[in-house]
């Protein structure tokens, strides 16, 4: 029995039908701008817009909850560390030796919102792009096909091996294996039957994969690579690319020239 985990959510939304290279440009441009801007209000607006983007793409609510459940503790930890260890400015609240300042609170919110918005950007790409299209987009952008194959196999088999590990662990525990007691090294020794079974399963899977690639002639000299569904830019993709590049250039110019979004609480620097 094998388990395959795929982040892709089937759908027919406009984001699903957008060329994956455009979505890759969106991810790169968004991450660059999210690092560039340090304003709480702009990041809150980005967070709202990204939720609207996921809603327009038909992303299930459970997937959005998964992002928040996974990253909210990290975001809150970043906020807390910033407030506690970098108390810049006049204190807003003082509790014993802890000084909470408005600037530190705003900077902590910036860090927390940045983590959440970056995650929403990346997951918008992964939720609406199939693994073959994702790998093919990298290959079409210049990545060697062998590297693309390695990426595709990693995306395909790492979740599968994770599921296999869970199945083997549950099967061994059903046979009386106890891995919940003892120190760290002792627990590792107790898990050796699971590791041995995983190694055997991995070797068997790699052997079957090698035979399958050899049977399909992979690596044969002079053989051209073909795809069942090739990527092709449409008019809408060109339009989205132009809009993304224009927004990237305009917002970067406003930030570097006028300091737009460079302050935690003010859109423009004072004076």
Q: How much of the chain exceeds pLDDT 90, in percent?
A: 38
pLDDT reading at 138 higher than 80: yes
More confident residue, 24 or 228: 24
pLDDT reading at 271 higher than 70: no
pLDDT digits (tens, 9 = 90+) for 242-268: 999 999 999 999 999 999 988 888 888
Q: What is the C-alpha to C-alpha distance for residues 119 and 50, in angstroms, rounded to an integer?
A: 10
> What pTM was estimated for this model as a whole?
0.76
Q: Taking residues 71-96, what's their average pLDDT? A: 80
Assign 47 a pLDDT band (cuts: 50, 70, 90).
very high
Say if residue 155 is in the same domain as residue 193: yes
φ/ψ of 94, rounded to 5, equals -125, 120
Q: Pick from 195, 215, 235: which residue ends a domain? A: 215
Say if residue 148 is in the same domain as residue 116: no
Say if residue 125 is in the same domain as residue 157: no
More confident residue, 16 or 229: 16
Q: Pick from 107, 129, 151: which residue ends a domain? A: 129
Q: How much of the chain exceeds pLDDT 70, in percent?
A: 86
> Which contacts (CB < 8 Å, 24+ apart) does range 48-53 have?
50/117, 50/120, 50/121, 50/124, 51/120, 53/15, 53/120, 53/124
pLDDT digits (tens, 9 = 90+) for 222-238: 666 666 677 888 899 99
Say if residue 56 is in the same domain as residue 98: yes
Residue 234 placed within a domain: no
pLDDT digits (tens, 9 = 90+) for 199-208: 888 888 888 8
Q: Pick from 95, 129, 163: which residue ends a domain? A: 129
Say if residue 123 is in the same domain as residue 154: no
Residue 203 placed within a domain: yes
How many domains, the chain? 2
Enter the tokens of residue 86.
Answer: 């970098």
- Helix ranges (H only) for the chain are 20-36, 40-56, 61-85, 102-127, 131-140, 145-174, 184-190, 192-215, 235-258
Residue 71 placed within a domain: yes
Say if residue 111 is in the same domain as residue 66: yes
pLDDT reading at 2 higher than 90: no
Residue 243 placed within a domain: no
Q: What is the C-alpha to C-alpha distance for residues 5 and 156, in angstroms, rounded to an integer?
A: 8
Say if residue 166 is in the same domain as residue 209: yes
pLDDT digits (tens, 9 = 90+) for 108-121: 899 999 999 999 99
Residue 238 placed within a domain: no
**Residue 182, domain extent:** 141-215
Say if residue 102 is in the same domain as residue 63: yes
Residue 112 placed within a domain: yes
Task: Quote the pLDDT of residue 6.
Answer: 60
């Amino acid at each position: 029995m094998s388990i395959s985990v795929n982040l892709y959510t089937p759908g027919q939304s406009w984001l699903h039908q957008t060329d994956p290279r455009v979505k890759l440009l969106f991810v790169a441009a968004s991450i660059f701008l999210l690092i560039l801007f340090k304003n709480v209000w702009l990041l809150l607006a980005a967070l709202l817009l990204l939720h609207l983007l996921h809603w327009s793409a038909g992303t299930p609510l459970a997937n959005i909850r998964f992002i928040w459940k996974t990253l909210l503790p990290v975001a809150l930890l970043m906020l807390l560390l910033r407030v506690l260890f970098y108390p810049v400015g006049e204190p807003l609240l003082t509790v014993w030796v802890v000084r909470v300042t408005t600037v530190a609170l705003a900077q902590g919110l910036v860090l927390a919102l940045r983590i959440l918005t970056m995650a929403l950007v990346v997951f918008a790409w992964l939720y609406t792009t199939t693994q073959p299209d994702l790998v093919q987009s990298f290959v079409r952008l210049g990545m060697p096909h062998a590297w693309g194959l390695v990426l595709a196999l990693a995306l395909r088999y790492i979740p599968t091996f994770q599921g296999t590990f869970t199945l083997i662990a549950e099967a061994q525990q059903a046979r009386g294996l106890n891995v919940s007691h003892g120190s760290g090294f002792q627990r590792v020794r107790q898990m050796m039957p699971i590791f041995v079974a995983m190694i055997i399963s991995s070797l068997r899977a790699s052997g079957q994969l090698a035979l399958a690639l050899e049977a399909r002639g992979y690596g044969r000299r002079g053989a051209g690579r073909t795809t069942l569904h090739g990527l092709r830019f449409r008019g809408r993709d060109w339009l989205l690319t132009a809009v993304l590049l224009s927004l990237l250039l305009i917002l970067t110019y406003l930030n570097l020239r006028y300091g737009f979004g460079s302050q935690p609480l003010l859109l423009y620097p004072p004076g």
